[in-house]
A = this chain, B = another copy of it.
Amino acid sequence: MERTFTADLAGHPGRRVRVAGWLHHQRQLARVAFVLIRDAAGIVQVVAEDEGLRARLADLPPETVVDVEGTVTLTDQAPGGLELHDPEVRVLSTPTATMPFELRRPELNAQLPTLLDHAAGALRHPRRRAVARIAAASVAGFRATLDARGFTEVHTPKLVASATETGADVFGVDYFGAPAYLAQSPQFYKQVMVGALERVYEVGPVFRAEPHDTARHLAEYTSLDVELGFVGDHTDVMAVLRDTLAGMVAAVADRAAAAVELLGLALPDVPAQIPRVDFTAAQRMIEAATGVAVVGEPDLAPAHERWIGDWASREHGSDLVFVTGYPQAKRPFYTHPDPARPGFTNSFDLLFRGVELVTGGQRLHRAEDYEAALAGRDTAPLAGYLDAFRYGMPPHGGFAIGLERWVARLTGAANVREVTLFPRDVRRLTP
């Protein structure tokens, strides 16, 4: 008999079906056993009355993998409105170890390090599965939005000969006896690809040898990178970012509806115009409101990002806010200056509920501007990148979204590790 997923059982009332999954939990009463079977799609209750079967079930530990034939019986009393009666149960495999937490609880009741150490178990919890599905739906929405706008997906190398950005926080690799590095971002390659395809995106791992052990940094994370040519300035990039975020939220609502419901999430509204505030104007507001002198600082502290997030929520009813016009000092060398304001740039960050989620901007596009920006630096390792500008490049720009940070904000996770399948940080390389 073909297997039926638990989510599809409602379409087979009164019929004999076969389900398969993990023994999630069982309750043995005097004359009946209620057994919950968990599969990819959900959980179904199996009702065993036969004495021999009940005795056999009583010996099965949680997470026993089983195959169950039974009759679909609609009933208001069962979770999900139906259960399987007159079951025949076949054991496919038996666990040999017990997890240090119980999957049957609504929430995983253990400390984060325990959950991470036993990821093979913790990831089976319905809430963790829901988070994984929200991440997948987010990426699907990212791609669908960009595909519809003529972008092409690319895969660029993670093994590189030179540090992508600053040279700090890079992992070194022994490359057939020669030194190499893990790419901190696909920045240089996505810019080169604008010369070929104009509009590109990449979903892939990036690596930061980040020595700080914080709740929002990982040594390896998934970056959603976009770059597009023939922009007027950074505001054209921001418009694409706005549409991309709207597409991600829509895909989560559509493709991960059950996960959103299980986690009880309120998805953000992405306004047609995300509110914007100029970097220096934001500093002035913070200074006026808090009395702390911040005007002239080259970047925003996390506390100030939270302040701006609160301001956007209060003044504009928005979970999202753009901060534009960052000083050159803290932006990478390829950032395009603001032609009207020396020392400031055509750049932006997007804050989501008070935390930096996206960084982007317009890039330099003239070969001579790169020569000036890199004056005094050894540009030999960058030859293949600089070629793109020497061969003629249009005005362009782009952005990068940190997937794990996005999912953490969306789900309200306090620590980005809670929403990463197998996180990597200064203290963790396993599992």
Binding site for B on A (CB under 8 A): 3, 5, 20, 22, 39-41, 63-65, 92-97, 99, 117-121, 123-124, 128-129, 132-133, 135-136, 139-140, 143, 147, 150, 152-161, 171-176, 178, 180, 182, 189, 192-193, 195-199, 203-205, 207, 209, 211, 219-220, 222, 229-230, 365-368, 381, 383-385, 387-395, 403, 421-422, 424, 426, 429-431
Q: Determine the chain B residues whose CB is within 8 A of the CB of A152 once the complex forms.
A: 132-133, 136
User: Which chain B positions have C-beta within 8 A of A229?
Assistant: 40
Closest residue of chain B to A201 (Cβ to Cβ) is B136
Docked CA distance A222–B154 (Å): 10
CB of A155, distance to nearest CB on chain B (Å): 5
A-B contact pairs, 12 of them (CB 8 A): A20-B394, A96-B389, A119-B387, A120-B192, A123-B195, A124-B391, A129-B197, A140-B153, A172-B173, A178-B429, A384-B430, A384-B431
Q: How far is the CB of A169 from chain B (nearest CB, A)?
A: 11
Q: Are B197 and A132 in contact (CB under 8 A)?
A: yes
Given contacts A63-B392, A124-B195, A128-B196, 11 further A-B contacts (CB under 8 A): A22-B392, A40-B197, A63-B391, A93-B365, A123-B193, A123-B195, A133-B152, A159-B207, A171-B174, A176-B219, A189-B421
Residue of B nearest to A198 (CB): B40
Residue among B150, B389, B390 making CB contact with A5, cutoff 8 Å: B150
CB distance from A140 to the nearest CB of B (A): 7
CA distance A65 to B395 in the complex (A): 9
CB-CB < 8 A to A230: which residues of B? 3, 20, 92
Say yes or no: A429 contacts B159, CB within 8 Å: yes
Most buried by B among A160, A161, A230: A230
Nearest CB on B from A288, distance (A)? 40
**Bound form: Cα–Cα A429–B383 in Å:** 12
Find chain B residues with CB under 8 A from A140 CB: 143, 147, 153
CB distance from A44 to the nearest CB of B (A): 15
- A3–B230 CA distance with the chains assembled, in angstroms: 9
Identical chains bound together, number: 2
* Bound-complex Cα distance A249 to B153 (A): 17
* Distance between A64 CB and nearest chain B CB, rounded to angstroms: 6
- Nearest Cβ distance between residue A144 and chain B, in whole angstroms? 10
CB atoms of B394 and A196 under 8 A apart: no
A209 to B230, CA, bound (A): 39
Does A120 contact B65, Cβ atoms closer than 8 Å? no
* Interface contact A392-B93, CB-CB below 8 Å: yes
Question: Are B153 and A368 in contact (CB-based, < 8 A)?
Answer: no
Residue of B nearest to A19 (CB): B230
Q: Which residues of B contact A196 (CB under 8 A)?
A: 123-124, 128-129, 132
Do A97 and B391 touch (CB < 8 A)? yes
Write out the residue numbers on chain B whose beta carbons fall within 8 Å of the beta carbon of A99.
Answer: 391
- A158's partner among B123, B139, B205, B431 (CB-CB below 8 A) is B205
Q: What are the residues of chain B within 8 A of A393 when measuring CB–CB? A: 65, 93
Given A175-B171, A189-B421, A394-B93, A39 contacting B205 (CB threshold 8 A)? no
Shortest distance from the beta carbon of A105 to any chain B beta carbon, whole Å: 16
Residues of B within 8 A of A195 (CB): 120, 123-124
Q: Which residues of B contact A209 (CB under 8 A)?
A: 176
Q: Is the CB of B383 within 8 A of A430?
A: yes
Which residue on chain B has the smallest CB distance to residue A365?
B93
Q: Which of A159, A174, A193, A196 has the most CB of B within 10 A?
A: A196
Q: Which residues of B contact A173 (CB under 8 A)?
A: 171-174, 182
Tell me the complex Cα distance, A133–B123, Å. 35
Q: Report how far A97 CA is from B390 CA in the complex, Å.
A: 5
A136-B159 in contact (CB<8A): no
Q: A191's closest neighbor in chain B, by CB?
A: B120
Contact B178 A392 (CB under 8 A): no
